[in-house]
Amino acid sequence: AHYQARIPATDGWHTARLLPEDFGRPDWTPADSLDVGLRLENVNAIYMAPDLSDETGGYAELKVKAVELMAAE
């Protein structure tokens, strides 16, 4: 399954902290795809991409200084 979270664009560096409940399924997810919720034990990849579309086009520059995955407290 695919889950995503959107982080607003900024002009400078900032820190974003996301929790599993911040992620949802995108609109293009097939209706017959089972939604079991984001389970961290099933995550085998993380992708980061700018929020662009074929309809709006545009330009984006994505810079990531660090990614830290932390276990629940």
Q: What is the mean pLDDT of each run of 10 residues along the chain (73 residues)?
A: 85 88 86 82 84 80 85 66
The pTM for the full model equals 0.68
Q: Residue 21: what are its φ and ψ, rounded to 5°?
A: -70, -10
pLDDT of residue 8: 85
Query: What is the spatial distance between Cα 29 and Cα 35, in angstroms, rounded to a whole number?
Result: 10
Give the model's pLDDT for residue 73: 64
Which pLDDT does position 72 carry in this prediction?
Answer: 67
